[in-house]
Amino acid sequence: MKELVTEFYVNKFNFYKNSEEFDLSFVPAILRRRISLLDKYVLSAMNSTYSDDVEDIVLSSQFGEFERLIKIIGQYTENQEVSPNTFSGSVHNFAVGFFLLNKRKTIPYTALSACEKSLSFGLLSAVISKYDNTLFCYADANKGINNSLAVNLSKTKKENSVKYILKYEKHKDTNSVFGDFADFFSRKSKQLITSDYSIERVD
């Protein structure tokens, strides 16, 4: 039986974990005050790995704008109405749309959530994207879980890019967490194993 593998290259990588040191200088000051903590994690990670040749974006998050949703429910329960600004900021793809609006770029994007597999499935979605150059971002800011990472990846090799091989294979009792992904793409480990696939760096 032929082994199912996918090759891809990582051009840029960055992550934030329990950090308040965000670089949001590219966001107008008047708008900076309106964005949530999750938005800060998403925008900072994406901006640090963005390049002009990015053709699409994949954003994944397990909890999304949880705090904003709670606020909306409270508003509706008490007043039978919801603030339009609060609602527009609560949708899952808000941060990506906000980011592209500031970049003045029109490209397709995907926003997804898959419970505890949101990070691994989000990355997989980016790897198998039909586009050559994809920007993947994962972020969560809820109940003390505050982190984000972004990977600028492509199907073709570029200057200073690093090659990776993804193998489709099941691994029972495997629960990869954010730190595993951060360490792997920071080159602290050579292999990443999830419940549905493994990835190996090719030096």
Give per-residue pLDDT as tens, 187-201.
Answer: 999 999 999 999 999
Q: Regarding predicted confidence, which is higher, 64 or 73?
A: 64
Tokens of 89: 């900021």
Q: Is 187 left (phi over 0), alpha (psi -120 to 50) or beta?
A: left
Position 169 scores a pLDDT of 92
pLDDT tens for residues 162-176? 999 999 999 887 888
Q: Which is more confidently placed, 69 or 160? A: 160
CB-count exposure of residue 24 (10 Å: 0-12, 13-18, 19+): middle
20-49, pLDDT tens digit by residue?
Answer: 788 899 888 888 877 888 899 999 999 999
CATH of span 13-153: 3.40.47.10
Among 56, 59, 50, CA closest to 118? 59
Place of tokens 């489709």: 168
Residue 144: pLDDT band with limits 50, 70, 90: confident
- Whether the per-residue pLDDT at 68 is higher than 70: the answer is no
Question: 179 in helix, strand or coil?
Answer: helix
Helices 37-49 and 94-103: crossing angle, nearest 10°?
A: 50
DSSP state letters, 15-79: EEES------TTS-HHHHTT--HHHHHHHHHHHHH--TT--EEEEE-SS-SHHHHHHHHHHHHHH
Provide, rounded to the nearest whole percent, the portion of the chain with pLDDT above 90. Answer: 59
Q: Pick the range with the lowest mean pLDDT from 19-23, 67-71, 154-158, 175-179.
A: 67-71
For the chain, domain boundaries: 13-153
- Report the share of the chain in percent with pLDDT over 70: 84
- Give the model's pLDDT for residue 29: 84
Residue 133 has pLDDT above 90, yes or no: yes
Q: What is the mean pLDDT of residues 175-193?
A: 94
**pTM score, whole prediction:** 0.88
